[in-house]
Structure 1
Amino acid sequence: MVLAKPLNVALIQTLPTVDLEANLKRVDELVEKAMTEKPETEMIVFGEHFSTPLGKEYYEKFAEEVPGPRSEMLCNIAKKYKVNVIGGSFAEKYKDTLYNTSLSFDKTGNMIGYHRKVHMFDIDIPNKITAKESDTFTGGTSATLIKVPEFGVVGEGICYDIRFPELAAIASRNDAFCMLYPSAFNTTTGPLHWSLLARSRAIDNQVYVIMCSPGRNPDFSYPVYGHSLIVDPSGKILVEAGDGEEILYSTLEPEAIASFRRNIPLETQRRFDVYKDISDGAVTACIEVQDTDSDN
């Protein structure tokens, strides 16, 4: 099975303010709450820009290098609670460039994932929302695969990446059991496409899909949709949040993947004589787990 055993997951939907130090303290409090309520939790997932508001002024103000305060915090959470951490995203400063970056750590604190958002959210919906992420960030250059010790492989994208099905296809054809998308849709595109896209990527690739968002703070101009959720391989929504601060819990089951793939055997029915296998020769990034603990 692509998922070696059941995986207990907690999604933490934060509600960031302009006070980074207070935000990080609140993150730690929410993690402690999650691990107290569900001590069997084995993976914690955060949302896109989980520790700051959304907006160019905040990205530039709170950008940091790796290692830095947030990477160290995520590493410490993993080690303290002995839990795998998918670290949402933050503005990463690398030389003179900013990336929208997600870091992941295993339960010993080893970094196992480093995803830079590939597709930039550049849209203009008249009278509703205009955004040009490429004014701030540079896109990453690889599909990301994360080897989670004891469980298997997950793929990762960030928010707008979910609209491009190639990343999920590449991951599933590299034996991923889940696609993770730290995200922050808005109240225009969220009601239209949030759950639809999650269900589509799940059904297309017969994997779990997790989308984790921050909550909506009415004090800021970007209207975050919230609604973190987990979808099973058949497209069923297992859990879904509202638009405020919230913690979701669920268990990913190996048999849910195996049975759906047996019933609808897409993998053996693909016609690569008719169309190209996009996973063939794809640029992928996968950090190998080290034998010794490290801070980052």
Structure 2
Amino acid sequence: MRVALIQLAGGSGDKKADIALACEKIREASAQGADIAVLPEMFCCPYETSAFRSYGEAEGGEAQAALSSLSRELGLYIVGGSVPELEGDRIYNTSYVYGRDGVQLARHRKVHLFDIDVEGGQRFMESDTLSPGSQITTFETEFGTMGLCICFDFRFEELARLMALRGAKVLFVPAAFNMTTGPAHWELMFRQRSVDNQCFTVGVSPARNESASYVAYGNSMAVDPWGTVLTRCGGEPCIQYVDLDLSRADSVRRQLPILSARRTDLYEIKEV
């Protein structure tokens, strides 16, 4: 299964141009044999709370229509980063997944809103504008079950574990860590979640734009179930490709049984 990690210099302030850029890079990935193309969080919207409503769209909006049409045309899966989704007076940070036929396979609304205030570092309050989602998201492909969450969601091991318990062998994470949290936690988080859940993790970030009010870390990466970093971008716009053999997850789980050895008579993580 070939995955394209598309680290875009989006959020330019021109939504149409950002969508066109994303489509151009997805076409490039398709030409390189990608089965799944993954975009960053807020790929066609500045990552600013004041921008979410004006750049937002309702179900079936401009960005969604473009990605659905392109997935059908090219015959590949698209994990569509995320966009501000408008529903009534609410705004969600939402990721859509499209199958090879262009049909929407999944919709994940970011469950854990990014409200942080790091002393001497980054402050950001998504809850000033956004509403939280309320579902754990997995979807099916011919390769197996995949999990999906967005950025701050990934800090919560319970969410990753529940996706793994549903059978997910790959967790896709459109994300936008910043220059405070990224250097400290980005690689650590992806390796940690891969090792804990014995699955592949794929994180795709916007490219770094030093002139933006919120500077993304970049460093999109894929990690295998043993915690090995398979590929990684720097800060600049790029596409990285990685070929994932999902039987590797089965092999690691067999050799080092963690999921199957849990003491559910003593403790339990379960969906509610």
Work out whether the TM-score is over 0.5. yes
RMSD: 1.0
Q: What residue in structure 1 maps to residue 20 of structure 2?
A: 25
Residue identity in the other structure for 1:229: M
Larger relative contact order (CA 8 Å, sep ≥ 6): 1
User: Shift of the alpha carbon at 1:218?
Assistant: 2.1
Deviations 1:39-72 (A, max 9, x none): x211111110011221012212201101100110
User: Shift of the alpha carbon at 1:258?
Assistant: 1.8
Does residue 225 (structure 1) correspond to residue 217 (structure 2)? The answer is yes
Alignment partners' CA distance in 2, 1:233 and 1:201: 9
Does residue 83 (structure 1) correspond to residue 104 (structure 2)? The answer is no
Q: What residue in structure 2 maps to residue 160 of structure 1?
A: 152
Q: What residue in structure 2 maps to residue 8 of structure 1?
A: 2
Whether the 8 Å contact between 1:23 and 1:51 is mirrored in structure 2 is yes
Does residue 114 (structure 1) correspond to residue 87 (structure 2)? The answer is no
Whether the 8 Å contact between 1:202 and 1:235 is mirrored in structure 2 is yes
User: Shift of the alpha carbon at 1:220?
Assistant: 1.1
Tell me the SS of whatever aligns to 1:47.
coil
Q: What residue in structure 2 maps to residue 71 of structure 1?
A: 64
Does residue 136 (structure 1) correspond to residue 129 (structure 2)? The answer is yes
Whether the 8 Å contact between 2:150 and 2:175 is mirrored in structure 1 is yes
User: Shift of the alpha carbon at 1:274?
Assistant: 1.1
Alignment partners' CA distance in 2, 1:254 and 1:111: 23
Count of equivalent residues: 271
Residue identity in the other structure for 2:206: P
TM-score with structure 1 setting the length: 0.89
User: Shift of the alpha carbon at 1:213?
Assistant: 0.7
Residue identity in the other structure for 1:35: S
Alignment partners' CA distance in 1, 2:144 and 2:262: 23
Alignment partners' CA distance in 2, 1:262 and 1:212: 29
Does residue 42 (structure 1) correspond to residue 16 (structure 2)? The answer is no
- % identical equivalent positions: 36
Tell me the SS of whatever aligns to 1:248.
strand
Alignment partners' CA distance in 2, 1:213 and 1:166: 22
Deviations 1:8-40 (A, max 9, x none): 11011110111111111111211122222x1x2
Q: What residue in structure 1 maps to residue 249 of structure 2?
A: 257
Runs of 4+ in 1 over 4 A off after TM superposition: none
Q: What residue in structure 2 maps to residue 145 of structure 1?
A: 138
Deviations 1:197-239 (A, max 9, x none): 1111111110100111111122211011011100000000000
User: Shift of the alpha carbon at 1:255?
Assistant: 2.7
Q: What residue in structure 1 maps to residue 49 of structure 2?
A: 56
Whether the 8 Å contact between 1:159 and 1:181 is mirrored in structure 2 is yes
Alignment partners' CA distance in 1, 2:115 and 2:65: 31
Q: What residue in structure 2 maps to residue 294 of structure 1?
A: none
Alignment partners' CA distance in 2, 1:123 and 1:93: 23
Q: Where does structure 2 lack aligned partners over 5 or more consecutive residues? A: none
Deviations 1:99-150 (A, max 9, x none): 00000010001110100000011111122111111011110011111112x1
TM-score with structure 2 setting the length: 0.97
Tell me the SS of whatever aligns to 2:217.
coil
Whether the 8 Å contact between 1:14 and 1:51 is mirrored in structure 2 is no
Tell me the SS of whatever aligns to 1:35.
helix
Tell me the SS of whatever aligns to 2:138.
strand
Alignment partners' CA distance in 1, 2:135 and 2:21: 32
Residue identity in the other structure for 1:27: A
Tell me the SS of whatever aligns to 1:176.
coil
